[in-house]
Amino acid sequence: MTTPENRRPALAATDPELAALVTAEEQLQADTLRLIPSENYVSAAVLEASGTVLQNKYSEGYPGKRYYEGQQVIDQVETVAVERATSLFHMDHANVQPYSGSPANLAVYLAFLEPGDTVLGMSLPMGGHLTHGWGVSATGTWFRGVQYGVRRDTGRIDLDEVRDLARAERPKMIFCGGTAVPRTIDFAAFAEIAHEVGAVLVADIAHIAGLIAGGAHPSPAPYADVVSTTTHKTLRGPRGAMLLSRAEHARAIDRAVFPGLQGGPHNQTTAAIAVALKEAATADFSAYAHQVVSNARALGEELASRGFDLVSGGTDNHLLLIDLTGKDVPGKIAAKALDRAGIVVNYNTVPYDPRKPFDPSGIRIGTPALTSRGIPVQEMGTVAEWIDRVVEAARTGDEAAVEKVRAEVKNLMDAYPAPGLPVG
Ligand SMILES: Cc1ncc(COP(=O)(O)O)c(C=O)c1O
C-alpha cells in the first residue's frame, strides 16, 4: 500500500514533523472544493519536474551566456522552456526566469521606466493587481500610479475612462489584465489607447494564461508590447512567471530580470514550466480551458438564479466576483463559513465597495481547480446550492448546516480525485 511514509521516505525519516504537514496539506487539497480562481492542481509530471536536482545548480545569465560553468544540461532545459513559451503564446521572445508574477511585473518597470514615471493600471479594489501601480506596492511608491476602474452600472472596464486618463496623464506604460476581472480583456482597445499616447502596453495575463493557451480567451499577442504571466494559475504549471515580448524589447526585458532584479534562476521551476507548456499545447488542455469557462458560466447562472449578485452580471472566463450585500453576510464571514464546509474561496472587495479591504462585501470564486478534477458542468447546480446553503447558514449561525455540506463536498471530491495527488 502507498503510504505518505513510503511516498516520501527520506523526508519522513529526516523530518517527520514536516512530512506530516505535507501529508496533511495533500489531504486538505484532496478533500476540499478549491474555488480560489488563482489556484489549481498541477499534474504529477509538473510536480516531479519541480522537485529535481536541477535545483542544485546556479546559472546566472542566459543560455550560452552564463556566469557559472557546468551548464551543459541547464542551458538545454531553459532553451526548451523558452521555445515552448514563444510557440504557445505566439510572441517573439520569452524570459522564463522571473521568480513569480510580482517580480516579473517589477522587471517590466525596470525595463521601461525611470522612478517617478507614470504608469496607468487598474486599481486593486476594482480588480487590478497590486503591481499595476497600487499605492502600497513598490510600483505605486517608486512610480506614479494612475488608476482606472469599472463602470458602476455595468461592472465592466470603462475604456472611455482609460482613454481619458491616458490622454490627460500621458503614462509611459499601461497595464491591462487583472486579478478579479470576470470579463474578456479587450487587448485591441487597450493597444489603440497605448499607441495614441505612446505608452508601452503590458498585458498581465496571469489569471487567464491557460485560457489563452487553450483558445478560450483572445490572445494579446497581436497587440501587447509585453505579456506578463504567472505560470501557476489557469496555465497549471509550477509557481513561477514569464515575460514575453516583441523582439525589439527582448534585451531590455532580459537585462531587467537579470542582472537588474534577480540572481540565479530556479532551474527546477524552469523545467516544470517547460513541462506545463508542453501539456498546455495539447488538445486535451484546450478542452480543459474551454471547460473551465463553461463551468464558470454555468456556476454563475446557477448562483444568479439563487439570488446572488454577480459583478458585471456573469463571467466570460474562469472567475466570478460575488457581491454579498444583498445576502446580508459580509464576504469574510461567508468565506470562513465556506472554508468550514470544505469550500475554499477568498473574500474580496467588489467595485465601489463601502467596506474595508480586510472585511469586504464580496467573495471571489473560480473553476480552474475543480475542472482539473474533471468535475462536469452538470455538478455546478450542486456547487451553487452548497454555496447558497452555507452563506445562509453563515447568516443564521447554523453550524450543523455547514457540517452537512462538508460531508456532501467530501463525497463529491472522492468521486473526482485531483491530478498530482495520491489517491486514498
Ligand atoms: C494579474 C496578476 N498579476 C500578478 C500577480 C502576482 O503573482 P505572484 O503572486 O506570483 O507574485 C497576480 C497574483 O495573483 C495576479 O493576479
Give the contacts of 356 (CB within 8 A, at least 6 positions apart). Answer: none
E runs forming strands in 76-179: 93-95, 118-122, 144-148, 173-176
Could you say which of 230, 234, 270, 315 is catalytic? 230
**Which residues pair with residue 309 across a beta bridge?**
323
Cell, residue 157:
472596464
Distance CA 93, CA 394 (A): 49
Distance 387 CA to ligand 1 centre (A): 26
- The per-residue pLDDT string of the chain (424 residues; one tens digit each, 9 = 90 and over) reads 677 778 899 999 999 999 999 999 999 999 999 999 999 999 999 999 999 999 999 999 999 999 999 999 999 999 999 999 999 999 999 999 999 999 999 999 999 999 999 999 999 999 999 999 999 999 999 999 999 999 999 999 999 999 999 999 999 999 999 999 999 999 999 999 999 999 999 999 999 999 999 999 999 999 999 999 999 999 999 999 999 999 999 999 999 999 999 999 999 999 999 999 999 999 999 999 999 999 999 999 999 999 999 999 999 999 999 999 999 999 999 999 999 999 999 999 999 999 998 999 999 999 999 999 999 999 999 999 999 999 999 999 999 999 999 999 999 999 999 999 976 5
CB 383 within 8 A of CB 370: yes
Pocket test for ligand 1, best of 96, 100, 102 (most atoms within 8 A of CB): 102
Atom 5 in ligand 1: which residue has the minimum CA distance?
101
Contacts 24+ apart (CB under 8 A), 58-65: 58/264, 59/264, 59/265, 59/267, 60/258, 60/259, 60/263, 60/264, 60/265, 61/258, 62/254, 62/258
Query: Distance of alpha carbon 246 from its chain centroid, rounded?
Result: 23
DSSP SS3 for 365 = strand
Of 151, 168, 157, which is closest to residue 122 (Cα–Cα)?
157
Could you say which of 239, 278, 306, 410 is catalytic? 239
The number of the ligand 1 atom at minimal distance from the alpha carbon of 241 is 10
Exposure string for 149-186, b = 16+ CB within 10 A, e = fewer = bbeeeebbbbeeebbebbeeeebbbbbbbbbbbbbebb
Distance CA 29, CA 320 (A): 21
Give kind and range of the element (H or E) at residue 370: helix 368-372
Location of C-alpha cell 487553450: 214
Of 346, 383, 341, 343, which is closest to residue 362 (Cα–Cα)?
346
Answering whether pTM is above 0.95, one says yes
**What residues line ligand 1, using a CB cutoff of 6 Å?**
38, 100-102, 105, 129, 131, 177-179, 204, 206-207, 230
Burial (0-12, 13-18, 19+ Cβ within 10 Å), 47:
middle
Distance CA 413, CA 348 (A): 25
Strands 61-62 and 65-66: antiparallel
DSSP SS3 for 410 = helix
Active site residue 239: yes
Distance 206 CA to ligand 1 centre (A): 6
Of 267, 272, 278, 393, which is closest to residue 339 (Cα–Cα)?
393
